[in-house]
Amino acid sequence: MIVNDKMQQNYVYECVEPMGEHFDPLFAPELTPKEMLNLGVFEGHYLTDCRAEFPADWFVNAKLSDRPNENCNYFQVKSRQSLQVWQQKGWIIGPDVRGWFQWYCRYYMGRRLPEIDQIQIKRWRSFRRHQAQILKNCFVMDMTCRPRQRQALLQWAYNPIF
């Protein structure tokens, strides 16, 4: 795969595993990238200029916007910080200049970068703590309880509807 978009030029990677298969045993996302995009993530303003890198069917029913629009999110809440904040906090790792979700999309496609994969999988696993907080503080199926945390879970491939 050769990537040329607004944020990355001439980045080349190889998919060495079949799409959606052979994940690390410690990594079991509950949602695929396509499901996440269809439900509504990142205020609809993510991967908008780099669709050519990913399967076209991921975007058929995706909730997308030319500008960040919280109404595109499943829980219709603001859900993201600026790229500058991500960079300052060290959340941009390796060649995935857009962050965790870009890493996940590329991993799902079959790219493997063992050192970076281990870091991102560890980050993903630690994010599950938000699910525990919702379970502890909300009634079952009360989608109005902690919508920002639920949106964040969705954006980390956890199913926020429980």
Show the 3-state SS of 114-127. Answer: HHHHHHHHHHHHHH
Does residue 47 carry a pLDDT above 90? Answer: no
Report the distance separating Cα 27 and Cα 66, nearest Å.
31
User: How would DSSP label each residue in 83-133?
Assistant: HHHHHHTT---TT-TT-HHHHHHHHHHTB--HHHHHHHHHHHHHHTHHHHH
pLDDT band of residue 150 (cuts 50, 70, 90) is: very high
What's residue 48's pLDDT? 84
Token duo for residue 1: 């795969």
pLDDT band of residue 84 (cuts 50, 70, 90) is: confident
Token duo for residue 27: 């990594």
Report the distance separating Cα 68 and Cα 123, nearest Å.
24
Q: Tell me the pTM.
A: 0.94
What's residue 100's pLDDT? 94
| Segment 100-143, tens digit of pLDDT | 999 999 999 999 999 999 999 999 999 999 999 999 999 999 99
